[in-house]
Structure 1
């Protein structure tokens, strides 16, 4: 079977070499990475990757959001099977988040060549732009704009910390890679994203492969509590309107609401706080804080939405920052990934993703699913991010099998 032949042609040494080379573009502190989306370091990495693709005899396109598409032709001109992820990193990121999915895809193209396999459908490796969202907001920009091109008009006006717009950065990319042909969204047979787990589940279970059933839904809120700034030493207790105390009194009711609705599956974070005037001798006059609540059940998310305002002071202002319903991946692709894991001869388990991925948006475009490999101690977005080389190889082998199996489908 050509899927097994391709799986056996995957080279762990070559995969590690690709990862090591990519890590030379934008090295960060303590052995980590700082390769921001559409930065000079990102451009240099893309130029290297495009060169590797051309050496493999592949065609490379770009689109209006600077996504790159590397195609290995099939025997027939049919909608392709896609894989890929992103190569931008957090400012203090590791070498695997996103990067592993792209480099494993490239390794699969090498394996196909070495095995002498030409699949029925084309196979494409995609590099999505600005998935991390650490330079420009929002994250998963490239994949969301690909699925819904109308989003890009709004994205182009977003600014980074230095005041450069997404539009300016995209124009610079278009000028830098003007020799690449442009392409718009096309029909796609399936999309598979391989990624490190970024959590501890697989490592704790001592299982080297995970087949991802879907991605949790999320709610992001901002709460603003008003008080009155006043002198810390002269204002009597009964006259104080301390916004920070007001905000803190709402935390336990919110946590109890989340616990009641989600139980052991509770994922609640109070992540961002702003206290004004934030002075040591002045009572806080205004406090804002963020709420991040995630769950796989849309009914739980809806119940949290309905109950949240009752947990807040009467004069608090509640604003929705972001909302995304849970993503369920395609059963027909999940089944292929399960067979792919079995073909490696290693153990696997079903798992749900708690983090966002490009596959979340691709699921609205074509049948989609994901593969996970373990993360040591569950660490990611950190220079200490690490996955055992044998597990990286296992993920790439499962990916190779699945891509060929999907690409042979009618």
Structure 2
């Protein structure tokens, strides 16, 4: 994308150096179960400006006084958690890199979440890319003048706040064995907070505790990485720990309801040149005649599960709950990232932190490379120059 960096990186790249990079990346951590790409993306200033502008338009909607009213039906009744906060603490917006009618690179919104992403791992990934491949030090994954130190200061303010690190825990189902566990451990290393599986947290009255070295420690905050979709109907798991849907003496960072409010459900409310035409399926009076130009997505799924790419009238007719689906105009990813043998498609996730009493701040990014029909891992098996990476920009 920034040609001088792309050409220099590709010219110096070797398979041996990539293996060294992977070894360094995993040193001191459990094995990384997802594929990390061979290269970062070098984001030019013009694209950076468009990504920032697209995010500002979305945030304007989220900050509207009626946003909660607009999105109230997004929260499944069985997963509504009490004591919701006034705003989320994390925002992540995923954009496919495309070309407009004039041939200019343009980001198009694919997905959005009011839920944390790999806020720790992306710093570690950047550092390892730079140290192994000798990437120019003036290239940075950070926005708004942040560097690694000031970024972690902000992350600490959002996640730990006024509490002591031992009073705040990163929590997920079977946390140490999640696919994103390396992000958990990098975060814990920098912030000093424990990483706890759901089942390690116990309830007494309305208070939550965990044990360490035989001592019972009360939790004041949970840095929540638990997605309720992963639990499904297996709610018996709460009997061994606690039920998040109960009234509890705990602060959520971020509150679980925001996972639903800021999601595919939000996209039909957005009108922007950076957002593909999107409709709730049940609101359409007539189904478009050119269904081949649309994708059908379930509202309540994650990681691309259930998405129908090549839509037919029969697919639409088979949907029994159209209020839980969106029909979205297809986005054509452009193979803009030059691998040694061909162009590769890319998606960039813009990652924001939103401290209490302040404005949301764009901080860092995540990127994914793809040669498959979709971006996800299962669509890119047996390919190289695909997988998770990071976008680097000139300071």
Sort the TM-score into its range (normalised by shorter chain): under 0.3
Structure label with greater radius of gyration: 1
Select the structure that is richer in helix: 1
Q: What TM-score, normalized to structure 1?
A: 0.27
